[in-house]
Structure 1
């Protein structure tokens, strides 16, 4: 099946092979009108280029929008593992230090994705009703990214005043 090339890049994903960028752009272009197609495009990008970190982010964002929190958490975890591999850090985020995440102004692409996937996991856990897990992730993000380059303060603000046993508005 031949896919028409997107007329323009909707999102700058950074340096990616042209065919992977095209899959992601097409998925972004149809994610609201045809989420199943977008999901298939993002999954296909991951299958053929498992090192393409933006593909994981696209898929988990779609799954989060569709309230598929378990699937989104799974993809965030997979993306985090790939980012850790590329950043040459251990697979257990609990052991990471600020040096592993790099300096805000000099972070490599994999280091930025380490933080983005941790932030995604914190948000997803909050939406799943796992407030304690979300707090643990935000605490780690505050340690790894004291400048708040990834925007973890947004989730921290959402957690303010939420009891660890309280419902968080998810369907669970």
Structure 2
């Protein structure tokens, strides 16, 4: 039963995907492994656009249902063993892709973006459907870099995606970042 408790504390209660605690543990492991092997590690930060307005319009039950459906799409896109999807915060998700370059991660991010838009979840308050903004970063971990740097750069790219009109993928170090 201790194991069961351990498992519960690693899973997001609403969406049933990994929670932030599980992500942090997996991320540190993956970072060390990629550093040892000299292979790239990619991180995608995903944030639901105008989610507060959606919640205000439809209420939290609908908001929760939207979160569940979005989590399902993300999980469905992340197919390879070792790749990780987690709920990072309220309306924020994170995806970790081992041995994945910027190009590879961009394809994954773009598929997530497109498939969430295609869910067609109405956001009447914005006269639009629910979309997500995504920021991504990828590098080969070494002694000069830190795990925080990968998270920080993906987060800044996400901020640029939101600033740049939302419903888009921004890659750290590209475009206007």
TM-score of the pair, normalised by structure 2: 0.34
Larger proportion of strand: 2
More contact order relative to length (CA 8 Å, sep ≥ 6) = 2
TM-score of the pair, normalised by structure 1: 0.34
Larger proportion of helix: 1
